[in-house]
Amino acid sequence: ALQISRGLWKKYGDKRVIDPPISEMGFTGIAVGAAMVWLRPVCEFMTFNFSMQAIDQVINSAAKTCYMSAGAIAVPIVFRGPNGASAGVAAQHSQCFAAWYGHCPGLKVVSPWSSEDAKGLLKASIRDDNPVVMLENELLYGVPFEMSEQAQSKDFVIPIGKAKIERQGTHVTLVSHSRPVGHCLEAAAVLAKEGVECEVINLRTIRPMDIETVEASVVKTNHLVTVEGGWPQFGVGAEICARIMEGSAFNYLDAPAVRVTGADVPMPYAKILEDNCIPQVKDIIFAVKKTLNI
C-alpha cells in the first residue's frame, strides 16, 4: 500500500513476492512455517496495528519455537512495516509497538530512523537466524536522508543491538528511536544556541538494547532524557530509566531521568489533538531545561 516494496514483484515474480489475501493470521502463519524450513521470508504488515491479528503467530509460533525445540528449529523471519503514529488515522492505526514486541524474549526488535538505518538494519535482520520485528515509520517514508558512500555500498550492514551517537554533547543525554530521533536533533540545535550541548543517541535496536552506549553517555553528561512516541506506562523510556537506575551510571546522575512520551490516551483523530498527543520539539526542550534546572 505504501509502495516500499514497489518493483520487487516485477523483478522476482510470483515465486518470491506473494500478494496474499488480507488475512494477517493466515499469511503470517505461512511465513513462519516457511522460516522453519529456512526460506528467510520477509512478512510485511500494511501497518503494525494489523499485526495484532497475527500476534499469536509472531509470539507463540515464531518467538518461542527455537527455545521450545531446544535449539533444533530456528525461525529466521523478518516482520516489517510502519509503526507508531501516522497522520489523521486515529486510535486504531496510531500505536507504537516497540514496547509490545520489545517485551518478548525470542524476538529481536529494530527501529530505524534514517535511510542508513533502514538499509543496514533490514539486511542484518534478513541475515539473522532469529525472528526480527522491524518497526518503520510511515511519516519517514517520504523524508530524504543523506547516504554516505559506505552506506550505499553493497556490503553495508548495521549490527543489531548497537546504538549510534547522532550528535556529541556534554550537558544532557537524549535517547530516542525512530522518528523522534529527528525531533531530538532539532531540539539539540535550538538548545545549542542557548549554550546547552545535547548528546543525541539513536537506539536503532529496542531488543537487545545497547544500554552500554547510554550508560557511557550518562557518565559523561550526568543527565538523561528519553524520548518516544509510545505510551508512557511500561514503555521503552521506562525500561531505559530502570536499567540506568540498576547500573553503575545511576551514581553519575545529577538529576532524576525524565521521560518524554506520547500522551496516555488513544490517539485522537482531530489534528490539533493529535499534535498534542505526540512529542514535539518544544516538549523535548522543556524536558531538557527541567532536567538541567534552567
Active site residues: 24, 93
Range list of H helices, 193-270: 211-221, 236-246
Determine contact, residues 163/184, Cβ cutoff 8 Å.
no
Q: What is the DSSP letter of 218?
A: H
Interhelix angle 236-246/211-221, nearest 10 degrees: 70
Q: What distance in Å separates the CA atoms of residue 273 and residue 80, rounded to the nearest whole number?
A: 28
Count of alpha carbons within 13 Å of 293, Cβ hemisphere only?
Answer: 5
Using alpha carbons only, give the angle 125, 214, 179 rounded to the nearest 5 degrees. 55
Give the residue from 155, 193, 199, 197 showing the smallest Cα distance to 176. Answer: 199
The residue assigned the cell 516489517 is 80
| Residue keyed to cell 501516522 | 86
Side-chain-side CA neighbours of 202 within 13 Å: the count stands at 23
For residue 293, give the C-alpha cell: 534546572
Please state whether beta strands 164-167 and 258-260 pair in parallel, antiparallel, or not at all (unpaired): unpaired
